[in-house]
Chains A and B, each alone.
Chain A
Amino acid sequence: MKIYLKPYRSKLVLIAFLVFLQALLQLTLPTLLAELVDVGIANADVSYIVQVGLWMLLITVVTVAVTVCSGYQTAKLTSSVALTIRERLYASVQGFSLQEYRQFGHSTLLTRTTNDVQQVQTILSLLLKTMLLAPMMFIGAFILSVTKNLMLSFILIAPLPIIILIVIWFAKKGGTLFASLQKRVDQLNLTLREGITGIRDIRSFNQVDRERERFSEANESYRNSAIHVHQLMIYLTPIMMFILNFSIVALLWFGSLQLNTGELQVGDLMAFIQYAMYILFSIMLTSVLFVSFPRASVSAKRILEVLNAEPTIKSPTYSLTPEQQSSLRFANVSFQYPSAEKSVLKNVTCTIADRKLTVIVGGTGSGKSTLLQLIPRLLDVSAGNIVMGGIDLRNVNQEALRNAVTFSPQNTQLFSGTIENNLRFGSEDVSMQQIDRALSIAQSESFIKELPEGINTTLTQNGKNLSGGQRQRIAIARALIREADMYLFDESFSAIDAGTKRQILDELLHELNESTVVIATQDVGISKRADHILVLDEGEITGEGTHHELLQTSAIYHELATTQLEEGTS
């Protein structure tokens, strides 16, 4: 995490200096007080007392000014570090391919970007405020006490090794305990989230009680673990207090022995007690830090995991813009998730012709979606290559590629905001006419018109206030608005009723006459219109050709067609 402080090196030095000054100034107060007692009071010199007092006052004011300055610098610095970490995290996630994205899961990415960063920021500001102040106070108080009396100084630091051992023990123990607590937090959050997202199924399966039990279990396990951790950690303060208070008692005893022999003056002893208080204070601060450290280090680890995740897909070192962008050649393409046992795609070799409609049909889990996702490089091939207009996709500039290819994912993804904003996603400057045209092709004009505010209607999270078919139609319009050479639709018509679907396809294919269109579907009604059909089965291409050819040559396609047509006609 240190590298995030690097750009602020000069500021850190400034803060360290200010804190140093603050410690130094604060420490002069007891010294002056000792003077006041031993010289002023002992000699009954009122003007001396006032003089020293005024010095003390001045130092106080300066100390506060310094503290405010360092507080300002610290607040700014820690906030900027948090800002930078959030920005990097967000950028890092934006660079993720689907592979890393799935590995983490979006809910943990969210907590890592916000909560964990906050934890780190808290500890950082604690670190700057106390980690610097505490040792300086400690060292300063110790040096000053040594100049006053060597023997008593040793009494002051005698318990230090014990304290260090105790703190180390607590930090270690706390580390493991907090790590396990964090796991329980994750489990608790997961259960809560599942309870919310699965509420419909939980209700309909009459499992509310069981879900409650499941949550109670997670809740209880968290509570017990939290009690366990905290009840251990609260030992720390009393133990510290005990040790430190006893060293003050010891200080007084040995101090009075020395007073008796005249080696020490009363004012010095008073100053010593003040130093002891400062030392006590600094050790307490450090122990607080140590208690919160394990928690923050867990967060830091979680952040680093995201930042250090190497995106499997790298932007090409040299970028090319293919002249002919819309024909594709798959040569021996295989794809396998790193942890998976079997490949999703095996040795796929095929051609997607320029300005033609290619339909990929195949059963559930046949690899259709994966095949489409390889084209805009949401995923990268594990073996083989995909060539676009003579250039391997991995050598094509990513922006150029994704501008040339418009991909509509299987799950319709919409943003909260107006319908218009959703349509303008990825192509902000399009004219209203273009939008209207796309909406009319997607057969969405009429239902949008019926909405209370038309195209300015605000969609809720993921467009939940629309029906599945309506969402898909908006997604289709959004894809059309983006002018590309190649359009990929992944089951983008599945929730639309037959009549509307037919109208959309008619107009869409007419509109995209000059573009390459690839549709992954199970709908023979769509594949019939295709210039070329690829039949995928368990990751392999088992047949290709036109509808009529495949009816003869592919058993799978034949079966698919007959089941659908038989149902449609008889």
Chain B
Amino acid sequence: MKNQDSKIQWGTLKRLLSYLLPYRFRLLTVAMTSVLSTLFLILGPFVLGLVITTLFEGMVNNGGIDFYRISQLLLGLAALYLFSVYLSYIQEYLMVGVAQHVTYTLRHELHHQLMKLPIAFFDRVSTGDLMSRGVNDIDKISSTLQQTLTQTITSLMTMIGVVVMMLIISPLLTLIVCITLPLSILITKRIIKYSQVQFRQQQQALGALNGYIEESYTNHPLIQSYHQGEDMKSKFTPYNASLFEANWRSQFLSGLIVPLLNLLNNVIYVVVAIIGGIFVVQRTIAIGDVQALIMYIRIFTQPINRVANITNTIQATIASAERLFQVLDISMPTSDYGSKVPEGRGEISFERVSFQYDANKPILKDINVKLKAGEDVAIVGSSGAGKTTLALLLLRFYEANEGSVSIDGLDITSIDDEVLRRMTSIVMQDTWLFSGTIRENITFGLPLATEDEVITAAIKARADAFIRKLPNGYDTHLDEQASGLSEGEKQLLSIARVMLSDPRILILDEATSNVDSRTELQIQKGLQQLKQGRTTVTVAHRLHTVRHADRILVMHDGQIVEDGSHESLIENGAYYRHLFLKEQQNSM
């Protein structure tokens, strides 16, 4: 099981790395410059050691210090540092670009995928979770890319380079230093084993807390009016506390790595100082070499610490990448669209259509119905009868499990998706407005509409009057929640939007349920105008709103049980009559 896990992780890592492929030349430059800059950095202490030895020898030999040699060495040292600094700047500079471009691509792909996924996916997934993947997880990947890659290269280079240099100076002392390596790995691995558990717990606790907060903030008005604030707070405490526990533990444990490696390092440092000192006394090694070795040990610590940190980061990044790839990998069966273009009459036919979310809970059962072009058809029935689902099949928000839906004689799966959507428009019960001006919201379906067209559409939708009352009229900016507009006003805007986009087939999904009857009547007048020459499918729960429809489909339990005009249904449709009388009694 564990093996399998790590295999999957390697796959994720590989896939993540594949995003770097387009930047391979830049990365190659980065790799080369980091090799060079590390090389220069490593040569530094060596030259420094030469300086010290020259000084020491000058002192011991009483022959005076060789200043010419010293100045030459120092100039060389300065040049080395300068180069190394310059090169490390170049590599950082390049990596910033690469990291940002890669995360740009990831975000782009995520968004692309979201735009493609079937609506059924969004019915099931929480917005907060998707947002978290798009924001937090990609952020994590971004910072890792920016830092880890150069660090990995320079760390490895530094380790190799330092070992080579130390070998040149003193193989025996190097051997002592190299004991550090397996020990360091051992320590790091040990700690990571524990800290990783805590990290995972921390992410889980964070996720749970996030979910709890998201929900309680969304339901704020309800919580307030039920006076459950205190109760919600007390339920919040355990979520918060378990995050706290995992949080400090993971922080503390992962923070242990550096001091423990430092311990190891300082011990080696002292051992080298002692043994080196003895060697100098015995004249088997130069004092400058001991100085250089000591500096190398310091330098040696950094890459080990870094690599330890990097393994930590990479683990977390892989977890994030996995969450992202999960979304990118969802394949749901809507993706295939044809390229056919219907004639545009607006004829609709459902043939033996069945639909279900869960195998045991059919929503639509064997629907057979044909709608003529330009017909004004209403679907009525009690809630849960499948009215909305039937209408939404037309937009391919859902795919029929069996049977076929066709427009103008063409199966909708063979129709080009843009054409299909240009032909059909929908007004839904829950209005969606985006942050932007009122005008932008109205022209959503037709961005190039003229001012006249916009105003005409708004007047027809009975939205013009209230828009003009807003502080900046059509240029009034709506915020994220379109606060300041009532539900009804929002609905009027979305109706204006459809007015403007002028579709062949119009779907009204309980569009006027949030609007008062007076406004509804006004809109109905506008809609009546809009319905001219279009096929209209109206999903309604208030029968009186659809009395004038050419044809009414009465649904019950996933099936069309009655079909006809209001008058004929009153006469012959037992179920319709029953529904109608119930509503009549209600309003009497």
Contacts and interface: CB of A to CB of B under 8 A. Distances in A.
A44 B111 contact: no
Interface in B281-306: 281, 287, 290-291, 294-295, 298
Given A266-B287, A269-B55, A560-B517, A36 B444 contact: no
B180 interface: no
Given A204-B395, A205-B501, A410-B487, A98 B221 contact: yes
Interface residues of A, number: 176
Interface in B544-581: 544-545, 547, 578-579
B449 interface: no
Nearest to A43: B281
Of B104, B124, B227, most buried by chain A (CB within 10 Å of CB) is B227
A212 B521 contact: no
A76 interface: yes
Contact of B542 (A125, A206, A270, A498): A498
B480 interface: yes
Nearest to B116: A208
Interface in A338-394: 340-342, 361-366, 369, 373, 376, 378
A57 interface: yes
A416 B384 CA distance: 20
A305 interface: no
B447 A210 contact: yes
Given A110-B214, A199-B119, A204-B395, A249 B287 contact: no
A301 B92 CA distance: 30
Interface string B145-184: 0100000000000000000000000000000000000000
Interface in B71-107: 71, 74, 77-78, 81-82, 84-86, 88-89, 92-93, 96-97, 100-101, 103-104, 107
Given A79-B247, A376-B224, A464-B124, 16 more contacts: A56-B273, A86-B240, A107-B131, A200-B119, A202-B115, A249-B77, A269-B55, A273-B291, A364-B515, A378-B224, A405-B225, A413-B218, A452-B358, A468-B510, A502-B582, A563-B518
Contact of B111 (A190, A215, A245, A410): A215
- Most B CB within 10 A of own CB, among A188, A426, A452: A426
10 contacts: A33-B273, A87-B240, A113-B213, A114-B209, A230-B146, A246-B81, A364-B515, A425-B228, A460-B126, A525-B587
Given A68-B259, A82-B244, A110 B128 contact: yes
Contacts of A196: 114, 122, 127, 130-131
Contacts of A110: 128, 210, 213-214, 217
A193 B432 CA distance: 12
A138 interface: no
B255 A364 contact: no
Contacts of B588: 525, 528
Given A71-B256, A110-B128, A234-B96, A101 B220 contact: yes
Interface in B244-258: 244, 247-249, 251-252, 255-256
Contacts of A556: 518
B74 A498 contact: no
B96 A60 contact: no
B28 interface: no
B135 A189 contact: yes
A543 interface: no
Contacts of B447: 210
B424 A204 contact: yes
Contact of A49 (B100, B221, B277): B277
A349 to B, nearest CB: 23
Interface string B235-279: 011001101100111011001100110110011011101100110
A151 interface: no
B81 A241 contact: yes
B504 interface: no
B43 interface: no
Contacts of B251: 74-75, 78-79, 125
Contacts of A222: 104
A76 B445 CA distance: 54
Given A196-B127, A253-B74, A406-B226, A205 B215 contact: no
A192 B130 CA distance: 9
Contact of A569 (B48, B230, B382, B584): B584
A227 B543 CA distance: 58
A208 to B, nearest CB: 5
Interface in B320-368: 358, 360-361
B223 interface: yes
Nearest to A80: B244
Contacts of A72: 252
Leading 7 A-B pairs by shortest Cβ distance: A364-B488, A469-B383, A402-B227, A498-B583, A499-B582, A567-B544, A53-B274
A76 B489 contact: no
B14 interface: no
Contact of B582 (A337, A342, A498): A498
Interface in A197-225: 197-208, 210-212, 215-216, 219-220, 222-223
A470 B237 CA distance: 32
A79 B489 CA distance: 46
Most buried by B among A64, A105, A189: A64
A61 B263 contact: yes
Contacts of B55: 255-256, 259, 266, 269
Contacts of B424: 204
Nearest to A22: B259
Contacts of B232: 94
A312 to B, nearest CB: 13
Contacts of A76: 248, 252
A534 to B, nearest CB: 14
A190 B425 contact: no
A495 interface: yes
B221 A252 contact: no
B188 to A, nearest CB: 15
Interface string A238-258: 100110011011001101100
Contact of B93 (A206, A234, A413): A234
A45 B278 CA distance: 8
Interface stretch (B2-10, B62-70, B405-413, B529-537): B62-70
A297 interface: no
Interface in A2-57: 29, 33, 36-37, 40-41, 44-46, 49-50, 53, 56-57
Nearest to A44: B281
A305 B471 CA distance: 27
Contact of A238 (B88, B223, B281, B425): B88
B194 to A, nearest CB: 14
Given A41-B287, A94-B232, A500-B383, A201 B224 contact: no
Given A196-B127, A407-B225, A87 B432 contact: no
A447 to B, nearest CB: 6
Contacts of A464: 123-124
A514 interface: no
B225 A378 contact: yes
B519 A363 contact: yes
Contact of A64 (B108, B263, B281): B263
A103 to B, nearest CB: 8
B222 interface: yes
A241 B471 contact: no
A329 interface: no
B384 A91 contact: no
Contacts of B58: 259-260
Contact of A219 (B107, B213, B469, B579): B107
A269 B51 CA distance: 11
Contacts of B444: 201, 205, 207
B51 A256 contact: yes
B228 A426 contact: yes
Nearest to A187: B435
B165 to A, nearest CB: 17
Contacts of B101: 223
A460 B210 CA distance: 15
